[in-house]
Amino acid sequence: MKKLFSLFLFILFIYGGTSFAQESRTITLQEAIEIALENNYQLKQAKNNLDLADKQITSEYADFLPNISSSLSYGKTAGQQFIQDQVSFSDVTSASASGRISASISLFDGFNNINTLRQSEYSKLSNEEQLERAKENVIFNTASAYLSVLVNTELLEIAEDNLETSKKQLEQTKAQVEVGSRPSVDLYTQESAVATNELNVIQRENQLRLSKVQLIRQLQIDPLIEYEFEIPEIAGDYELSGVDSYHLSELIDDALLNRSDLKSEVANIRSQEFQLKIAKGSLYPSISANATLSTRWSDRYFLPDATFSDQFFDQQVNKGFGFSFNLPIFQNWNRIHSIQSAKIQLKNSKLSLENSKLGIIQEVTQAYNDYIAYQQQLESSRKALTASEKAFETQQERYKVGASTLIELSQTQSEYVSAQSDYTQAQYNLIFQEKLLDYFLGKLNKDTVKF
């Protein structure tokens, strides 16, 4: 009995846990962006690179400190050895121990330490700007995927409403055919229209599922859990942001000033300028100071009464201090090649920067022109929607009293549904274009992305 009860609890736990795991979770746009920023693997890699750059700077600071090393050894030697107190060679076994500690510090190295530190600092700055741009990419891609879900949700609702209207029209047509006020062909035509609308609903459902899958992939969350995405309220007359009140030249200046990827390239150029200085520094001489402290002990020491402590800590202790000067003369053109290579890399980076600026100008110009066009498209689709709605309502009334045919009604209904879809897509296209323009201007962040 206890085993059966335990088995029942186990099954209940398994099924209960499965049921709990499949519960739907509702995600808002801001939550989606937060999740994407937390889970995106490219952001994690960028943060790791930034941590590495920070540790590199710490290492460069440490290069200004002296190098200190120590050693301690002990050994035995067997064979012919010179015995000082006997002034002769004898076949003996001797033991000895030695210790050494040394320190050296660079006094001048062609400014290599300073230039390397500055290079690392600008390299870190470049990585910081790359991280910011990577965040903007994640935010933009997440907002775009979320917007796609919203568009497909709205289009599905339009398709469902159209199907419901068609079904009601089918019921009305059936009643009219039965009393003989309409020909049978109208019934068949309306049944075909209902079937077509049902297919359209299925297609819209598939599009919505696909857009949700793509959004879930962007968020990098468990795809086995059911998710619902909150639909924000969007006013019927969408409020324009007023971007068109700015001059295009002002927007381009803002983009060239704010874009993180451009800042990253500028910082990278500064880093390569110091890399060139490092290469040129290899032509300079180097000066360093060094100091040593060494000692030893031997059981064959010429003073037989000297203890280990006497020898190791007093009698055989040696101290040294000196300077070293190194002048590079010829290294098979390696240093000249390094300088030339650094110059060419710097030139290529500057060319890449100019090309990036031209690309940004083109992106902003195209996004601005598209934004203006989408504004006009929204206004045009709004007028078309109003007109088609009135036409459909009028045609419905005429059809009820027998003043129009089913074909005319179906055509008007199709035009109304098309106008609804066009207006919905025009709204979201304008919203998307605003975010795209912010993205190209380098002003996109998680707090400003709202629909």
Kindly write down the DSSP assignment for every residue of 238-260, as one continuous string.
Answer: PPP--GGGS-HHHHHHHHHHH-H
Q: DSSP of 300-315, one letter per residue? A: T-SSTT--HHHIIIII
The answer to whether residue 260 sits within a structural domain is: yes
The answer to whether residue 161 sits within a structural domain is: yes
pLDDT of residue 179: 81
Nearest to 263 by CA among 356, 180, 200, 333: 356
Q: For the chain, how many structural domains are there in total?
A: 1
317-339 burial, b at 16+ Cβ within 10 Å, e below that, comes to eeeeeeeeeeeeeeeeeebeebb
The answer to whether residue 190 sits within a structural domain is: yes
pLDDT of residue 240: 53
Q: Are strands 25-27 and 227-229 parallel, antiparallel or unpaired?
A: parallel
Residue 350 pairs with which residues in a beta bridge? none
What is the mean pLDDT of each successive set of 10 residues along the chain, which is 451 residues long? Answer: 44 42 76 92 91 92 92 82 61 83 91 93 94 92 91 90 88 83 83 91 95 94 88 59 72 93 95 94 91 88 79 88 88 85 95 96 93 90 90 85 78 86 86 88 77 59
pLDDT of residue 8: 42
Does residue 106 contact residue 113 with C-beta atoms inside 8 Å? yes
The answer to whether residue 279 sits within a structural domain is: yes
The answer to whether residue 158 sits within a structural domain is: yes
Q: Which two tokens stand for residue 169?
A: 């029209």
The answer to whether residue 96 sits within a structural domain is: no
Go through the chain and tell me how many residues it has.
451
The answer to whether residue 369 sits within a structural domain is: yes
The answer to whether residue 97 sits within a structural domain is: no
Q: Domain of 429?
A: 23-68+108-286+333-441
Half-sphere exposure of 395 (CA within 13 A, CB side): 19
User: CATH number, domain at 397?
Assistant: 1.20.1600.10
pLDDT of residue 342: 93
pLDDT of residue 1: 46
